[in-house]
Amino acid sequence: MGNRIIRLNLLAKDRQNALDIVEATEGQVYIGIMVKNFRSINEAVEQILDFQQANIPVSVGLGAGDPTQWQRVVEAAVRTKPVHVNQVFPAAGYTLAALKGVGSDHTIVNALISPADGVGKVTVCTGPESQHFKDSISCDAAAAMLKEIGITSVKLYPIEGQSRLDEVAEMVRAAVRQGITIFEPTGGIDIHSVHKVVEVCAANGAKFIIPHIYTALIDKVTGLTDPEEAAKLIKSLSGR
């Protein structure tokens, strides 16, 4: 994979599971904490801070891309200054500005974009109100809008495993044309399809690739994400 940086975005059942994953992968992961899973924002913040105190790199997420959670994501992120934040397209710029306002310049904030109407088209209508509209724009227009608001990472969801690779490739190319080289393919990716997905992202210019892989590495009996499987996967993707 050459000089490409790969980080897996994974879930963990608990703090110990997260620690085991981080150790096994030599830190080449982000551990997702979804604000939707908590009764209150204070509970979410408490868990994020607990993980961070153990040097676990946290990715604050919505929860299945739920746009109604965007404000809770902002609040949690501002209060914890994580390394990574998932956000809907309409709120991404707001989130980035809020984080910069509290001195969190290191945080990667992505913007959720969805495939639409075939290759070369996407929808940026991923917010709580805009999701009801199916209007599409070109990948180039979407990437230009991201550049204008300072967002450096594209999260394309749902890509349905390997079934939308042409659409993934076109969005990566459009992003790279605007100097955006972090790409986060998400949706239906398992331990087999992730290799092809990452290969397509890298071949089209992405420098920093963050595939989101959730249930594929979770043991159905224990609910734990398998640290050793995660380690094998990151080594394979990194060409080691």
pLDDT digits (tens, 9 = 90+) for 32-77: 999 999 999 999 999 999 999 999 999 999 999 999 999 999 999 9
Give the pLDDT confidence score for residue 239 in this predicted structure: 81
Tens-place pLDDT, residues 18-34? 999 999 999 999 999 99
Residue 119, Cβ density class (10 Å: 0-12 exposed, 13-18 middle, ≥19 buried): middle
Q: Where are the domains of the chain?
A: 5-237
Give pTM, 2 decimals. 0.97
pLDDT tens profile 132-177? 998 999 999 999 999 999 999 999 999 999 999 999 999 999 999 9
Note the pLDDT of residue 127.
98
Kindly state the tokens that stand for 211: 């595939």
Answer whether 230's CB lies under 8 Å from 10's CB.
yes
CA distance 18 to 20: 5
Q: What is the chain's percent helix, strand, coil content, to nearest 5?
A: 45, 20, 40
Please give the CATH number for the structural domain made up of 5-237: 3.20.20.70
pLDDT for position 196:
98
Is the CB of residue 225 less than 8 Å from the CB of residue 12? yes
